[in-house]
């Protein structure tokens, strides 16, 4: 049996790292996108979360695409809750993740994704704090040389 907390920690880091890379190493933007996505998942559910990822504008588009890709990997490869790569189709289809017969799977998917995104938000915040400290040190060094 898979240790779900460890899996969430692993994917939390992966979400934060890959989204940050997709957003030109801007950890603050990654943190903001992850926080928004987490809020949508918690308040509106998995279907709204996927639509949120699809609807992001040009500034967040690459990060949202990365989020969707990692979500598919988590739900398909790690948890075997979906069978193809189209998340919306997997949720909507007759015997899909949102069907009555798969309610337990849907709840598991939401819980694991939610915890992963919570961890991702903390990772992104830590990345942002590290970047900020690095920027502050660089500015101090520049000031000293002037």
Pick the CATH number of 4-134 from 1.10.520.30, 3.40.50.720, 3.40.640.10, 3.40.50.300: 1.10.520.30
Rounded Cα–Cα distance for residues 130 and 123 (Å):
11
Scanning 1-146, the segments in alpha helix (DSSP H) are 4-22, 27-44, 46-55, 61-72, 87-92, 103-145
Tokens of 42: 């918690």
Per-residue pLDDT of the chain (146 residues; tens, 9 = 90+): 679 999 999 999 999 999 999 999 999 999 999 999 999 999 999 999 999 999 998 888 999 999 999 999 999 999 999 988 789 999 988 888 988 889 999 999 999 999 999 999 999 999 999 877 766 665 555 555 55
Domain residue spans of the chain = 4-134
Q: How far is CA 88 from CA 35, 91, 138, 144, in A?
A: 21, 5, 45, 55
């Amino acid at each position: 049996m898979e240790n779900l907390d460890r899996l969430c920690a692993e994917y939390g880091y992966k979400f934060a790292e890959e989204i940050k890379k997709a957003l030109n190493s801007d950890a603050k933007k990654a943190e903001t996108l992850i926080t928004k996505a987490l809020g949508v998942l918690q308040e509106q559910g998995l279907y709204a979360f996927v639509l949120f990822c699809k609807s992001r504008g040009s500034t967040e588009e690459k990060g949202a695409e990365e989020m969707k890709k990692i979500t598919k990997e988590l739900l398909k490869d790690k948890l075997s809750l979906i069978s193809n790569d189209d998340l919306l189709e997997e949720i909507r289809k007759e015997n899909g993740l949102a069907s009555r017969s798969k309610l337990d799977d849907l709840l598991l998917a939401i819980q694991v994704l939610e915890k992963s995104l919570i961890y991702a938000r903390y990772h992104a915040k830590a990345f942002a704090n590290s970047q900020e400290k690095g920027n502050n040190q660089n500015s101090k060094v520049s000031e000293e040389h002037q």
